[in-house]
Structure 1
Amino acid sequence: MERSLMSQLAHVHHPIASPLDDSSVARVLARALDRGGERVLDLGCGQAEWLIRALERDPATTAVGVDLAAGGLAEARRQADARGVGERLVLEQADAAALVPEEPFDVVISSGATHAFGGLTGTLEAAHKHLAPAGRVVVGDAFWLTEPSPEAVEMLGEYEDLADTVDRITAAGWTPVYGHLSTRHELDDYEWNWTGALSAWALDHPEDPGSADALKAATAHRTEWLRGYRDSFGFHTLVLRRTEG
């Protein structure tokens, strides 16, 4: 099964593709979009749930979402139109890392998509290219809560603890003005939703050619989570401003 379709199915019950609950998303958006009427860009928007919620909270906000996955963008369009914000949302099927800067944005979001930019530092560099002066970046990425096992590092990649992560961000010229650390409930709820939604779809569609692959992927993911990285994995969502320049 195509990876983007699998992700779409896995996020049916958790459209924010990061381990934050609804109240946490609302708090982050309130801190990032605190002036009203902002132009917002999401690099790697998926189903554009961050943007749709930003548009719902302020009728003067406009937004652009960029992603490669056609299926996610189609669902984003359907949701935006159904929720009455479609006229203020532009969706582009393109490589977010290669997007050419045009008119700057007041807020740039990239949550759970740092892999597309080669990591956290690359994500911030890409966001900066599109950011207006005094603008804000919302970035969500992993960090290690405790010393990870070699298996956890192999599964998820190289990360740092929270203090070193923030030091790296500030050394790159950014200042955190707000932050949210996903709670144990948020982390677990995200994983149960991801694996559960994908498993349920596979069980409900046994004749679909992708059913076996979906169930296999959900089972493998659940095992990796519970036996591999659950105790060491953390997730931060930071609102950042440029320290200078």
Structure 2
Amino acid sequence: MTLSSDHPPRLASLTFHGPFSEARAERLVGRLAATAPRTVLDIGCGWGELLLRVLGAAPGATGVGVDLNGEDLARGRAAARERGLADRVLFAEESARDTGRGPADVVLCLGASQALSAAEPPRSAVEALHALRRLVLPGGRVVLGEGFWQRPPTANELAGMWPDARADEYLPLGDLVDAAIDAGFRPLWVETASEEEWEEFESGYRCDAEEWLAAHPDHPEAAGTRARVDAQRATWLRGYRRVLGITYLTLVPVG
């Protein structure tokens, strides 16, 4: 990758916008494709990497990705063209709240439950599960990627996280799975991001900016970029590392 001197690059080294490995993607896409979906809906899709992989593995399917970030959606459209999927996928720049998209055979929502609810966490995750239940067709699949506390955070860890981080901001994993059942699902697969996946994601999230900073230390944008990435790294290393987990729940609707 050639680093532009104009602006620091944004997330160019990330394949997935989260702690999500190639091996996990392969397994999950295989399970979803085996259900022979005709329609796929991705809520908070970003650049839609998982959406495109499901479409690539399910030749009869069409997909819609919904997000508010135009830059990410443009990246998704470019990837769709490169893979010959442009005629089978729509990337829509719009809110997912009360969306009229769907219902679909497969609904993806990875790290984007807040796109489906205006409630404060963790209520937003609970409300998102009910919204996802309405968006999936009978016999379909929902994949929810959602944060959970691996253990209760200490006061010092909370202080090192994002502003106003709260000990009740996330549910424990067991409570989150119970919330999925209460929303009308059965949990087919419960899996969690590994420490290796977290490190790959956290390092990849900043590595392009770090390389740009090393090459352009006196650029007018360098001071602001340096402060931002240093703060992000500290939030992880001094705050939520080994405390915040991410689970990937594959859910099937009941009835």
TM-score, normalised by the number of residues in structure 2: 0.84
Which residue of the partner structure matches residue 105 of structure 1? Answer: 104
Please state if 1:214 is matched with 2:211: no
Which residue of the partner structure matches residue 173 of structure 1? Answer: 184
Q: Is the 8 A contact 2:136 2:253 kept in 1?
A: no
Which residue of the partner structure matches residue 40 of structure 1? Answer: 40
**Gap regions ≥5 residues in structure 2:** 1-7, 118-123
Query: How far apart are residue 104 of structure 1 and its match?
Result: 2.3
Query: How far apart are residue 20 of structure 1 and its match?
Result: 1.0
Q: Sort the Cα spacing of 1:236 and 1:70 in 2 relative to 1 into closer, same or farther, 3 A.
A: same
Which residue of the partner structure matches residue 18 of structure 2? Answer: 18
Q: Is the 8 A contact 1:32 1:239 kept in 2?
A: no
Which residue of the partner structure matches residue 115 of structure 1? Answer: 114
Q: Sort the Cα spacing of 1:185 and 1:215 in 2 relative to 1 into closer, same or farther, 3 A.
A: same
Q: Distance in 2 between matches of 1:91 and 1:233?
A: 30
Please state whether the residue corresponding to 2:250 is helix, strand or coil: strand
Which residue of the partner structure matches residue 153 of structure 2? Answer: 148
Which moves more between the two structures, 218-227 or 190-199? Answer: 190-199
Q: How many residues align?
A: 236
Deviations 1:74-132 (A, max 9, x none): 1111111012211111111100113224x521011010112223421222222223221
Q: Distance in 2 between matches of 1:113 and 1:98?
A: 14
Which moves more between the two structures, 232-241 or 115-124? Answer: 115-124
Match of 1:199 among 188, 195, 210: 210
Please state whether the residue corresponding to 1:98 is helix, strand or coil: coil
Deviations 1:48-67 (A, max 9, x none): 11111112222222111011
Q: Distance in 2 between matches of 1:36 and 1:15?
A: 25
Q: Distance in 1 between matches of 2:14 and 2:194?
A: 16
AA aligned opposite 1:124: L
Percent identity over paired residues: 31
Query: How far apart are residue 32 of structure 1 and its match?
Result: 2.6
Match of 1:238 among 245, 249, 252: 249
Q: Is the 8 A contact 2:73 2:93 kept in 1?
A: yes
Q: Is the 8 A contact 1:149 1:228 kept in 2?
A: no
Alignment of 1:125-136 (within 5 A): 125-136=130-141
Q: Is the 8 A contact 1:110 1:123 kept in 2?
A: no
The structure with more radius of gyration: 2
Which moves more between the two structures, 12-21 or 123-132? Answer: 123-132
AA aligned opposite 1:111: L
Q: Distance in 2 between matches of 1:18 and 1:60?
A: 27
Q: Distance in 2 between matches of 1:143 and 1:95?
A: 24
Q: Distance in 2 between matches of 1:207 and 1:85?
A: 42
Which moves more between the two structures, 66-75 or 51-60? Answer: 51-60
Please state whether the residue corresponding to 2:201 is helix, strand or coil: helix
Which moves more between the two structures, 105-114 or 189-198? Answer: 189-198
AA aligned opposite 2:192: L
Root mean square deviation, CA, Å: 2.2
Match of 1:229 among 240, 243, 247: 240
